[in-house]
Amino acid sequence: MLLVSTLRDDRERVLTGLNKRNLDAAQSVDRVVSLDDRRKELQARLDNLLAERNSLSKTIGELFKSGRKDEANEKRQRVNDIKEQTGPLEDELNRAVEELEEALLQLPNVPHARVPAGSSAEDNEVYRPHEGELPALGNDAHPHWELAATYGIFDLELGVRTTGSGFPVFTGQGARLQRSLVNYFLDRNTAAGYTEYAPPLLVNEDTARATGQLPDKEGQMYYVPADDLYLIPTAEVPLTNLYRGELLDADRLPIRLTGYTPCFRREAGSYGAHVRGLNRVHQFDKVEIVQLARPEESYDKLDEMVDHVAGLLRELELPFRILRLCGGDMGFTSAMTYDFEVWSAAQERWLEVSSVSNFETYQSNRLKLRYRTERGTELLHTLNGSALALPRIIAALLENNQTDGAILLPEVLHGYFGKDRLTPLAS
């Protein structure tokens, strides 16, 4: 959530930045400022009344002690009048605060100055051209959903039977490959200084709102009405909320967290050939990394996280490229996002496997997450990234490494998987 002080003091930068999202926010920004003016006015009136009441209460006690009963009763009547005014005034102030917060929740984060303007994925900037040789498999290459049947990797029909479409069941070698990748990612993350957590898979409304899933993405989240809980779309949500409301000492920073979870996304409206197989599913496994950092260090930490994810893809021997997302393609809460895409040889297209983002103070303002400085207390910057999401990684590993009689695994996975290849099911 944007700070009202930012909207007041840096209005032109805010409007210029939000224009990169194709959003003309002048009226919305002015409305927020007006609502805050109203909140301040009500707060001042209430504070004045309460201060007068406290002063009168002290005076009344002194008057009674000195035997000036009539004067004391006169002032007591004024205290009663004030009490009658403060109740409705407090209600009005609470409504003003709620209205202000709701207006702020409707404004997305302001893109960083380096974020390109644009309206869709076509306007994203290639930040780093592709690394690694693109496999040339010829006309006999099979997409991963065909290889899955030959090698017994996952079964979409079993998922339909037990749950519905978009819930693959991984079997045999596929289940083992998933477990190998999760362990590999977690080991690399913890070696890089991230502390591993195993967070809950359901969160309450406050948690989802604090990281920006509400009110922006409620249509994409699975909801459990009986318990008023949401299934997590990513481990970012519970991991970042572990520090909600905290006031941290500066010497603890940066804080690095990692965690593996299943993720649940409704992905409403996602249809077509481009979402076949594992390209887009409702449940998938992912390992996440999160950092809480000082504002002056956060973009160095963002670069650090980008380099870390790039290192994982190099070790997996997958050709990849990095995009810097334009304003119109960037998430609601992000100030800057880098997307990683791996090459899918059989589909002959790039598949997104990770987003690494800096949210600056947008999440921490909702989280009330601060740290102590010599100047007082300040909001932290929050960052997160996928390291990594499994479905499209598996799709690319299967497609890019297929041979006539096996699917060869990158060397880094040999120890985790126990073998150097996947072999076809016995006929």
Q: Is 167 labeled as ligand-binding? A: no
pLDDT tens-digit profile of 296-312? 999 999 999 999 999 99
Do residue 73 and residue 219 come from a single domain? no
Do residue 62 and residue 151 come from a single domain? no
Q: Is 349 labeled as ligand-binding? A: no
pLDDT band at 122; cut points 50, 70, 90: very high
Please state, in angstroms and as integers, the Cα–Cα distance from residue 291 to each residue in 112, 357, 380, following that order: 18, 10, 10
Q: Is 14 labeled as ligand-binding? A: no
Q: Is 265 labeled as ligand-binding? A: yes
Structural domain boundaries, residue 333? 121-422
CATH code of the domain covering residue 70: 1.10.287.40
Residue labelled with tokens 């909001």: 379
Which residues have a Cβ under 8 Å from the Cβ of 289 and sit 6 or more positions away?
Answer: 189, 194, 256, 257, 258, 305, 308, 384, 385, 386, 387
Do residue 145 and residue 219 come from a single domain? yes
Do residue 64 and residue 153 come from a single domain? no
pTM for the whole thing? 0.93
Domain-located, residue 111: no
Cα 64 to Cα 154: distance, rounded to the nearest angstrom: 84
pLDDT for res 281: 96
Q: Is the pLDDT of residue 162 over 60?
A: yes
Q: Is residue 327 within 8 Å of 110, Cβ to Cβ?
A: no
Beta strand 349-360 pairing with 169-170: unpaired
Q: Is 381 labeled as ligand-binding? A: no
Do residue 72 and residue 135 come from a single domain? no
Do residue 368 and residue 244 come from a single domain? yes
Q: Is 344 labeled as ligand-binding? A: no
Q: Is 52 labeled as ligand-binding? A: no
pLDDT tens-digit profile of 148-158? 999 999 999 99
pLDDT for res 175: 98
Number of folded domains in the chain? 2
CATH code of the domain covering residue 226: 3.30.930.10
Domain-located, residue 350: yes
Cα 56 to Cα 78: distance, rounded to the nearest angstrom: 8
* Token couple for 84: 């009658």
Average pLDDT over residues 415-424: 98
The pLDDT > 90 percentage for the chain reads 88
Q: Is 28 labeled as ligand-binding? A: no
Do residue 319 and residue 196 come from a single domain? yes
pLDDT band at 274; cut points 50, 70, 90: low
Q: Is the pLDDT of residue 271 over 70?
A: no
* Token couple for 232: 């997590």
Average pLDDT over residues 82-110: 96
pLDDT tens-digit profile of 238-248? 999 999 999 99
Do residue 56 and residue 203 come from a single domain? no
Backbone phi, psi, residue 24, to 5°: -90, 100
Beta strand 370-373 pairing with 247-248: parallel
- Give me the amino acid identity at 149: A
Residue 125 three-state SS: strand
Please state, in angstroms and as integers, the Cα–Cα distance from residue 18 to each residue in 15, 117, 332, 334, following that order: 5, 9, 11, 12
Q: Is residue 319 within 8 Å of 393, Cβ to Cβ?
A: no
pLDDT for res 298: 98
Domain-located, residue 113: no
Q: Which of 77, 105, 133 is the last residue of a domain?
A: 105
pLDDT tens-digit profile of 72-93? 888 889 889 999 999 999 999 9
Q: Is 101 labeled as ligand-binding? A: no
Do residue 169 and residue 92 come from a single domain? no
pLDDT tens-digit profile of 61-75? 888 888 888 888 888
Do residue 198 and residue 84 come from a single domain? no
Q: Is 399 labeled as ligand-binding? A: no
pLDDT tens-digit profile of 205-232? 999 999 999 988 888 999 999 999 999 9
Q: Compare 276 and 94 and report the one with higher pLDDT.
A: 94
Do residue 167 and residue 94 come from a single domain? no
Q: Is 34 labeled as ligand-binding? A: no
Average pLDDT over residues 318-340: 98
Beta strand 154-155 pairing with 229-231: unpaired
Q: Is 283 labeled as ligand-binding? A: yes
Do residue 83 and residue 147 come from a single domain? no
Q: Is 282 labeled as ligand-binding? A: yes
Cα 133 to Cα 118: distance, rounded to the nearest angstrom: 30
pLDDT for res 169: 97
- pLDDT, the chain, mean: 95
Domain-located, residue 427: no
Q: Is the pLDDT of residue 273 over 80?
A: no
Q: Compare 395 and 273 and report the one with higher pLDDT.
A: 395
Average pLDDT over residues 356-382: 97
Q: Compare 139 and 42 and report the one with higher pLDDT.
A: 42
pLDDT tens-digit profile of 373-419? 999 999 999 999 999 999 999 999 999 999 999 999 999 999 999 99
Q: Is 288 labeled as ligand-binding? A: yes
Cα 163 to Cα 203: distance, rounded to the nearest angstrom: 22
pLDDT band at 427; cut points 50, 70, 90: low
